C-alpha cells in the first residue's frame, strides 16, 4: 500500500516516485557523495530504487553524476550494489 505521499521521492534513474522505504538515499556532503543509511544526513539528496534494475542502470549510466551535477566516486557506485 502506498503510504503518505509526502514520503515519496523520485528515483534519479527511472524517474518514478516511490516510498522512501523503497529507495536508497544518497547525500552530497562536504566530503563527497555518501550513502545515507540513516536517512538523517544533511545535504542535497538523490534517491535510487533499492532494486537491481535501478542500481545496475544507475551504475551503467552514471546517473549519480547527473543527479549531483558532478563526478561521484567509483566507490559510491560500488557501495550501491551492497545495498541490495
Ligand atoms: Zn528507479
Per-residue pLDDT of 22-53, as tens digits, reads 999 999 999 999 999 998 999 999 999 999 99
Give yes or no for a contact between 55 and 81, defined as CB atoms under 8 angstroms apart: yes
Q: How many whole angstroms from 13 Cα to the centroid of ligand 1? A: 5
The answer to whether the predicted template modeling score (pTM) of the entire model surpasses 0.75 is yes
Domains of the chain (ranges; CATH) run: 5-81 (3.30.1230.10)
Rounded distance from Cα 18 to ligand 1 centre (Å) = 8
With beta carbons less than 8 A apart as the criterion, state whether 12 and 65 touch: no
**Is residue 9 within 8 Å of residue 20, measured between CB atoms?**
yes
Handedness of CA 6, 51, 75, 70 (dihedral sign): negative
Give percent of the chain with pLDDT exceeding 70: 94
Ligand 1 centre and the CA of 21: distance in Å?
Answer: 13
- Using the mean position of ligand 1's atoms as its centre, give its distance from the Cα of residue 83 in Å: 14
Given this model, what pLDDT does residue 2 score?
53
pLDDT at 68 over 60: yes
User: What does the pLDDT average to over 66-84?
Assistant: 96
Amino acid at each position: 500500500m502506498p503510504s503518505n505521499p509526502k514520503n515519496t521521492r523520485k528515483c534519479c534513474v527511472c524517474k518514478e516516485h516511490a516510498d522512501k522505504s523503497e529507495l536508497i538515499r544518497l547525500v552530497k556532503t562536504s566530503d563527497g557523495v555518501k550513502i545515507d543509511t540513516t536517512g538523517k544526513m544533511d545535504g542535497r539528496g538523490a534517491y535510487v530504487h533499492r532494486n537491481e534494475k535501478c542500481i545496475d542502470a544507475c551504475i551503467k549510466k552514471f546517473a549519480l553524476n547527473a543527479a549531483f551535477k558532478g563526478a561521484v566516486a567509483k566507490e559510491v557506485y560500488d557501495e550501491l550494489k551492497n545495498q541490495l
